[in-house]
Structure 1
Amino acid sequence: MQSTVKTMSVQGTILVLDGVSTNRIMLKVQLTAAWYHVVQGEKLAGLGALLRRTRPDLVLTAQTLPDGDAGDVKRLMLSVPALQDVPVVAIAPQNDRTARLRNLSEGLDDVLAYPFKDTLLLARVRSLLRARAETQDLKNSGNPQSVGFAEAPAAMIAPKRQGQIAVLAHTARTRTLWHKALSGRTQHSVCSHTLPNLSGVLSGTIPDAIVVELNSEPSGLNMLADLKSRTGTRRTALIGIIPDDNATLAAEALDRGADAICLGGFCPDEVSLRVEALIARKAHDEQMRDSLRRGLEESWIDTLTGLNNRRFAQTAMDQLLHSSVHKQRGFAVMLADLDHFKSINDRYGHSAGDRVLVEAGKRMKRAFGPDGFLARIGGEEFLFGLPNATREKALRKAADICSGVNSVPIVLADIPARLPVTVSIGLKVCEPPFSPIPDSSLSAESLIKCADKALYAAKQAGRNQVWMKQNAA
């Protein structure tokens, strides 16, 4: 009988840089035991080629290399656009606060000093990789190459802005001292509260960063987990302050959601450096989210009328159909077409025709109301999806659209004539019960075809009216 060997997937690639081979080997043993793929390097020379070949997810570098230092490594990483967001952690031979502050000011993501526990190292690695994974997801979602463009986007530079920092400490005296010390070292506004007063933090503007005092009491750790689980604060940067070198507490804090840990108590210079870096990263990610959101909105908006477009309508139809069948509620599909629109283009020009489309779209949107969706799917043709609809409701809504368009002629500034515009509508209403088994007659394509047949009948009957398709055949 053959035994089955179970394997685990590698969690990521980590580059270890150190001129001392025993240090590299020790780190490799610690990391490979946690299922990370480890690549090794000795010095700065040749690092560029090594980075391009291995594309690491994180770099652990000795504070001092044979031909450079950790700051040189970070600068090299920043010079390669594809690697700018790769975390770089310096490994220091001793707990030297001056050297740590220098590394943080050079842009390194953290500094760990020998000797450190495996649990702290691995917790920090997990924390940094989680943060990078979120940034990578945003980049991949907004990458033009994923939708057919040839060039990769330029790196985004988030503009500096004033943020808000909240301090949470166990005593009023501590919070006052930290508040005062931090206010003098940062451009951001600072507020302070006493643990566990979470309501004070959440009552106003959500802070960009929260500094939390951690000790043997569970309230600090619980606060980290609570803040990370809330929708409003899950992207807020969290910095834990530990009064001693308690690596176990630091590791637990990182796994509970802390983005950074300050061991050995509150150092205003270190806290301000970490806060600045984390707020800058948060602003960068927010900028990417906004850009992605705008890109998605633009991809489903018709640039002429400002209504949704055909691409949006395809997804919206599928959602309307799925939701209606699942909830066993009726719905309606309407196809509308402006009557004699070609004659407007022929007589007054396409510019006038475009403005008529814009005005007609506005009128239809007002008449249709907020329920369901409206999209321009081509030329002078518009598609409506109406949820929770009966035949009576759908017919009434279609009649409202017709009267909303034709009630008043359209007036264009450069054309003396008043342009009477009417619309014909084909309507298909579907009412429950619906079978949970997929039915070809109840698909987005078949329903639009039914509405199109009804629209053709409305045109044949004289236009400026609503016709309803009685069945799906």
Structure 2
Amino acid sequence: MSVQGTILVLDGTSTNRIMLKVQLTAAWYHVVQAEKLHGLAGLLRRTRPDLVLVAQTLPDGTAADVKRLVMANPDLADVPVVAIAPQNDKAARLKALADGLDDVLAHPFKDTLLLARVRSLLRSRAETQDLKLGNGSHPIGFAEPATALIAAPKSARVAILAHTCRTGALWKKALSGRLRHSLSTHVSSNMHALLSGPIPDAVVVEIGRTTPGLSTLADLKSRGATRHTVLIAVLAGDDASLASEALDRGADAVCMGGFCTDEVLLRLENQIARKTLTDQMRASLRRGIAESWVDPLTGLHNRRYAMRAIDQMARQPSQDGHGFVVMLADLDHFKTINDRFGHIGGDLVLAEAAKRMKSTLGSAGFVARIGGEEFMIGLPNSSPAKAMELARTLRDCISETPFTLPDASAPVPVTISIGMTAPNPPLPSNEPLERVIKSADIALYAAKKAGRNQVRIRQNAA
């Protein structure tokens, strides 16, 4: 049997647990059962569930207690906890949402609604898991804990998408006095108005069988701009199949039985807070990826980036008969600079040298710091003659203007030696890139041996 995930069912009534197990097992979920809060911490560590379904009241605690216990485990803090409330108990549903539960299902419920909600929550958790580093509890960033209490931002943009202007105005009036976020209203027939302005953080969508609400959900989830926008679906009745379809079309939460101001407010706050956390993790991931290619001292690319970029240049066919060029550049007598002016002075020289070379190179290629005072320059589609001219310009941009240092009585002269090689791509797939780098390194050694502040070329990597 293919198991799609592990679901923990907590309920003091055995018949309720059995019924849920039958429903979930039929959909290929692995089900773990428990009846009390006592011993739950150990059970969570052992089973590591992907989702928890819990009766609102347990023999020795509540669903809110379960949520707090799950949140206390850093590895499970993003596991959704869904409360199961008594039928037609609106107060119980609102209390569960106010307690921070991820959703509430009213018992009894149809299989279709239960499974749709499970699918929706597991998709959301999978996205969070993808933003984490390995199986740890830290989003790439590289040290911010993912277990911080979820709190909505001070201000977010919320849009109401209703069938008529009148409905939109009524909903806005009901929310505006109690919602701290900015509100706008739109009619379902005019999606352009919603998408043409600032992208909302959340959209409250009116859903009906004879209206475009379901297709609107799918449309918003499929667009790059609104893919991460929170979608709250509001249904006029208690149509479980319609609610299930709304969840499968992309709704993050569903309000059944018509517009309830208290419920919409709670769901908006909870969902916007969750979105804020995942947005932070996503931004942290982007920063981590960017920083993994950048040298923090100079702001240039680092060795990791340089080697990958050179490898791509080497494997691509030449254009207009030109090959690629690799240069290795080394600041001359850099140890003397460090000895005279300390590492702070040396760092200032490195940063200024990097700035000059990057400005001189422009868009012709890339320059990377690959270690200490050594730099690598890559030029795609460049003739040896043109590359030699550029190498000399790079040398001159360092040597012709002395460097100003805080502890120096006069500007400090600095020179650089450059070695280059110009193989003809594409390199055979079995030819190691190290031969190209070694060829440039031999040319750099020749430049040093010739008296430094020189440029030397080695025609190929052979």
Q: TM-score, normalised by structure 1?
A: 0.90
1:438 equivalenced with 2:429 (yes/no)? yes
Question: CA deviation digits over 1:230-263, x for unaligned, max 9?
Answer: 1111111111111111111111111111111111
- Return the letter of the residue paired with 2:84: I
After superposing the two structures, state which structure 1 stretch, 152-161 or 332-341, moved more: 152-161
Question: CA deviation digits over 1:127-155, x for unaligned, max 9?
Answer: 001111111221235959899x9x99473
Among 278, 283, 286, the alignment partner of 1:293 is 286
Using a 3 Å threshold, how does the CA distance of structure 1 residues 12 and 362 change in structure 2: closer, same or farther? same
Aligned-pair distance for 1:42? 1.1
1:268 equivalenced with 2:261 (yes/no)? yes
Look up the match of 1:317.
Answer: 310
Among 232, 253, 273, the alignment partner of 1:239 is 232
Using a 3 Å threshold, how does the CA distance of structure 1 residues 99 and 350 change in structure 2: closer, same or farther? closer
- Return the letter of the residue paired with 2:161: L
Please give the alpha-carbon distance, in whole angstroms, between the structure 2 residues aligned to 1:90 and 1:228. Answer: 26
Aligned-pair distance for 1:405? 1.6
Structure 1 unmatched ranges of 5 or more: 1-6
Name the SS for the 1:39 alignment partner.
Answer: strand
Alignment of 1:108-119 (within 5 A): 108-119=101-112
- Return the letter of the residue paired with 2:14: S
Please give the alpha-carbon distance, in whole angstroms, between the structure 2 residues aligned to 1:55 and 1:157. Answer: 20
Please give the alpha-carbon distance, in whole angstroms, between the structure 1 residues aligned to 2:303 and 2:136. Answer: 22
- Return the letter of the residue paired with 1:182: L
1:463 equivalenced with 2:452 (yes/no)? yes
Please give the alpha-carbon distance, in whole angstroms, between the structure 2 residues aligned to 1:238 and 1:414. Answer: 59
Aligned-pair distance for 1:418? 2.3
Alignment of 1:158-197 (within 5 A): 160-197=153-190
Aligned-pair distance for 1:112? 1.1
Aligned-pair distance for 1:330? 3.6
Aligned-pair distance for 1:298? 3.8
Look up the match of 2:96.
Answer: 103
Using a 3 Å threshold, how does the CA distance of structure 1 residues 53 and 457 change in structure 2: closer, same or farther? same
Structure 2 unmatched ranges of 5 or more: none
Question: CA deviation digits over 1:24-79, x for unaligned, max 9?
Answer: 11111111111110000112222222212211110111122222222222222223
- Return the letter of the residue paired with 2:429: P
Among 356, 360, 365, the alignment partner of 1:367 is 360
In 2, are the aligned partners of 1:390 and 1:431 still within 8 Å (CA)? no
Please give the alpha-carbon distance, in whole angstroms, between the structure 2 residues aligned to 1:319 and 1:290. Answer: 27
Using a 3 Å threshold, how does the CA distance of structure 1 residues 321 and 248 change in structure 2: closer, same or farther? farther
Look up the match of 1:4.
Answer: none
Using a 3 Å threshold, how does the CA distance of structure 1 residues 293 and 180 change in structure 2: closer, same or farther? same
Please give the alpha-carbon distance, in whole angstroms, between the structure 1 residues aligned to 2:387 and 2:137. Answer: 40
Among 429, 448, 454, the alignment partner of 2:437 is 448
Please give the alpha-carbon distance, in whole angstroms, between the structure 2 residues aligned to 1:157 and 1:387. Answer: 49
In 1, are the aligned partners of 2:139 and 2:146 still within 8 Å (CA)? no
Please give the alpha-carbon distance, in whole angstroms, between the structure 2 residues aligned to 1:372 and 1:105. Answer: 56
- Return the letter of the residue paired with 1:446: R
Among 134, 143, 146, the alignment partner of 2:127 is 134
- Return the letter of the residue paired with 1:302: D
Please give the alpha-carbon distance, in whole angstroms, between the structure 2 residues aligned to 1:132 and 1:392. Answer: 56
Look up the match of 1:412.
Answer: 405
Aligned-pair distance for 1:121? 0.8
Look up the match of 1:3.
Answer: none
Look up the match of 2:147.
Answer: 155
Name the SS for the 2:382 alignment partner.
Answer: coil
Tell me the matched-pair count.
459
After superposing the two structures, state which structure 1 stretch, 456-465 or 407-416, moved more: 456-465
Please give the alpha-carbon distance, in whole angstroms, between the structure 1 residues aligned to 2:269 and 2:139. Answer: 32
Alignment of 1:38-53 (within 5 A): 38-53=31-46
Look up the match of 2:300.
Answer: 307
In 1, are the aligned partners of 2:132 and 2:138 still within 8 Å (CA)? no
In 1, are the aligned partners of 2:71 and 2:147 still within 8 Å (CA)? no
After superposing the two structures, state which structure 1 stretch, 86-95 or 387-396, moved more: 387-396
After superposing the two structures, state which structure 1 stretch, 388-397 or 115-124, moved more: 388-397
Question: CA deviation digits over 1:146-183, x for unaligned, max 9?
Answer: 99x9x994733466321110111111111111112122
In 2, are the aligned partners of 1:428 and 1:470 still within 8 Å (CA)? yes
Please give the alpha-carbon distance, in whole angstroms, between the structure 2 residues aligned to 1:369 and 1:464. Answer: 22
Aligned-pair distance for 1:470? 1.0
Please give the alpha-carbon distance, in whole angstroms, between the structure 2 residues aligned to 1:83 and 1:352. Answer: 47
Using a 3 Å threshold, how does the CA distance of structure 1 residues 438 and 82 change in structure 2: closer, same or farther? same
In 2, are the aligned partners of 1:373 and 1:384 still within 8 Å (CA)? yes
Please give the alpha-carbon distance, in whole angstroms, between the structure 2 residues aligned to 1:286 and 1:145. Answer: 14
Alignment of 1:195-214 (within 5 A): 195-214=188-207
In 1, are the aligned partners of 2:318 and 2:381 still within 8 Å (CA)? no
Aligned-pair distance for 1:284? 0.8
After superposing the two structures, state which structure 1 stretch, 336-345 or 225-234, moved more: 336-345
Please give the alpha-carbon distance, in whole angstroms, between the structure 1 residues aligned to 2:185 and 2:376. Answer: 53
Aligned-pair distance for 1:276? 0.5
- Return the letter of the residue paired with 2:148: M
- Return the letter of the residue paired with 1:134: E
Please give the alpha-carbon distance, in whole angstroms, between the structure 2 residues aligned to 1:158 and 1:386. Answer: 47
After superposing the two structures, state which structure 1 stretch, 169-178 or 405-414, moved more: 405-414
Using a 3 Å threshold, how does the CA distance of structure 1 residues 365 and 273 change in structure 2: closer, same or farther? same
In 2, are the aligned partners of 1:144 and 1:152 still within 8 Å (CA)? no
Please give the alpha-carbon distance, in whole angstroms, between the structure 1 residues aligned to 2:382 and 2:147. Answer: 48
Using a 3 Å threshold, how does the CA distance of structure 1 residues 254 and 303 change in structure 2: closer, same or farther? same
Seq. identity, % = 62
Name the SS for the 2:9 alignment partner.
Answer: strand
Among 30, 54, 62, the alignment partner of 1:69 is 62
Please give the alpha-carbon distance, in whole angstroms, between the structure 2 residues aligned to 1:196 and 1:362. Answer: 53
Using a 3 Å threshold, how does the CA distance of structure 1 residues 101 and 319 change in structure 2: closer, same or farther? farther
In 1, are the aligned partners of 2:202 and 2:268 still within 8 Å (CA)? yes
